[in-house]
Amino acid sequence: MSVQVFGLPVSRGVAIGRAVLVASSRVDVAHYFIEPEQTGAELRRLKKARDQVCREFEALKLDVQGDAPAELVALLDVHLMLLNDDLLAGATCQWIEERQYNAEWAVAAQLETLSRQFDEMEDEYLRERKADLEQVAERLIETLARGGQSVGVRASLGAAADDVPLVLVANDISPADMMQFKGGVFRGFVTDVGGRTSHTAIVARSLDIPAVVGARDASRIIRQDDWIIIDGDAGLVIVDPSPMILEEYRFRQRQGQLERDRLARLRHRPAVSLDGQRIELLANIELPTDAPAALEAGAEGVGLFRSEFLFMNRGGRLPDEDEQHAAYAAAVTTMRGLPVTIRTIDIGADKPLDRMTLSELRHEHSLNPAMGLRAIRWSLADPGMFTVQLRAILRAAALGPVRLLVPMISHPGEIRATFEAIERARAQLRREQLPCGDVKIGAMIEVPAAALMLPLFLRHFDFVSLGTNDLIQYTLAIDRADESVAHLYDPWHPAVLGLVSTTIRAARAAGREVCVCGEMAGDMEFTELLLALGLRSFSMHPSQLPGIKQRILRTEIPALEALADQVLTSDDPRAAWLAGRARTVQPAPVPVA
């Protein structure tokens, strides 16, 4: 029977495929695909771990016999039986052979399947054996994790299950984990938790695939291998759809592809409004390998290179200067003389580093990561790491135009310390006679304090970038990754629009460049309003560029400027904007070249 699950729409479009569940567990589970030729080695690794656990259980039986109750020995026998039962052992091998799952993932997937079967048993005693199964599976996973080197993550995940479309279902997916899947295996994502502008949602949009977050019990309702539909426009997940519903959504998929093909023809057309104003459209990227997509989409440069993704999924080992320089240099050279804005590492909150690194830096147990040691605070607290990154960026700037962007800066002391760190790095490179380019230095305006003291910032920085995601979060005191308060996250809030407007107008009055690189930049609902407020530079994921460009080509900015002032003084800005726009704007056709 078909079931509908509702959540928050965070990445548009329709995905249809079989569910792959990433089971939550009390132990960390590595999830990666193996190459087909590695199947035999992975099966041997699983057998070795299972034999080791068997030996541990047998040794424990010998140790406790005579001193312990007979029930404990019987329980160990049950665990041994479960460990060798074909429902666990044999089926786990199937996940490895048929899906190319790594051994830990295969055990977790089969545990999820068997747990559901135990939950449906009528006999209470048999239902309670689920806890024994979980203990055995987790012991096996732990043994696998410490039993030797992993086979390794497939460089390109696109070869897995080519004939079966897959969608990923989980309680939550960290941005780092999502980056591991950046290769085309999964057609969509569904998570139980998360908000529209959590970094998980942002990365989902960067993959340009449909996603629904905050779907509550999705990972418990959906079973391994269920056929599901993800409606990324409505925030709807349909489990086991009927043939009629399936065909309707397949038609919508085809229509969506036709629309993307039509918009793609605008990529080489300049973004000029109807009244002749040229608008700069830039791209946000996570890795240097994203730069070609930015060029292909018609971006005029990179407005935000999120450098923190170079630091993730590394087992606690930070990238050295040469590795970082190679990554930044690759992005700069790929963009062929167009500007590249590199944001210094923005670690913290919902983008932690690997556990080893956090533990080493003793930042793992922050009570409120969003308010804690993150972004520029984290960098200034680790000057050695920060210097390495600054040196790598300055070296890359010798190859093309680079702008350096500082995240979450809010104190005059942080401004001074940041410029001193940049100058120290530059002086070191000069002493060592290494190439060092000039960079424009900018500040992210994402803390209300920064917006309120903007004149001070404009005296020091060459440009400013509005990070609207965090600006909304900190202005409204809302954790943007928490679905329980997601309904309060409101880009239309009068206080938010007031700070955005003040920043844009003050920067332009001071002759400083200003860009919006947060989610508002790629949301067509805000394009005309931001233009009316004076914004002339937008940065977004490459997939959003064609739609935003089309909206700009259809906009006559002067007609909206007076309306913007009315919106800023309204108690309900969104309603005021929509009503005023309906009276003011007549749709204009845009010929497609």
The catalytic site residues sit at 199, 517
Give the Cα-Cα-Cα angle 232, 285, 17 (nearest 5 degrees). 30
**Over the range 448-486, which residues count as b (16 or more CB within 10 Å of their CB) and which as e?**
bebbeebeebbeebebbbbbbbbbbbbbbebbbbbbeeb
How far apart CA 27 and CA 580 sit, in angstroms, is 55
- Nearest alpha-carbon partner for 556 in 273, 331, 302: 273
How far apart CA 210 and CA 231 sit, in angstroms, is 7
For residue 31, what are its two tokens? 């999830």
Strands 8-11 and 211-213: antiparallel
- Tell me if 135 sits within 8 A of 107, measured CB to CB: no
Give the Cα-Cα-Cα angle 343, 198, 205 (nearest 5 degrees). 80
How far apart CA 560 and CA 540 sit, in angstroms, is 23
* Bridge partners, residue 305, by sequence: 285, 342
Distances (CA, A) of 356 to 150, 318, 361, 366, 379: 17, 11, 9, 15, 17
**H or E element that contains 3:** strand 3-6
CB neighbour list of residue 197: distance below 8 Å, 6 or more residues apart: 469, 472, 473, 480, 489, 518, 519
Strand arrangement of the beta sheet that strand 227-231 belongs to:
3-6, 236-239, 227-231, 14-22, 166-170, 186-191, 211-213, 8-11
- Other CB atoms closer than 10 Å to residue 490's CB: what's the count? 16
**H or E element that contains 260:** helix 243-264
How far apart CA 565 and CA 283 sit, in angstroms, is 29
How far apart CA 45 and CA 148 sit, in angstroms, is 9
- Other CB atoms closer than 10 Å to residue 272's CB: what's the count? 13
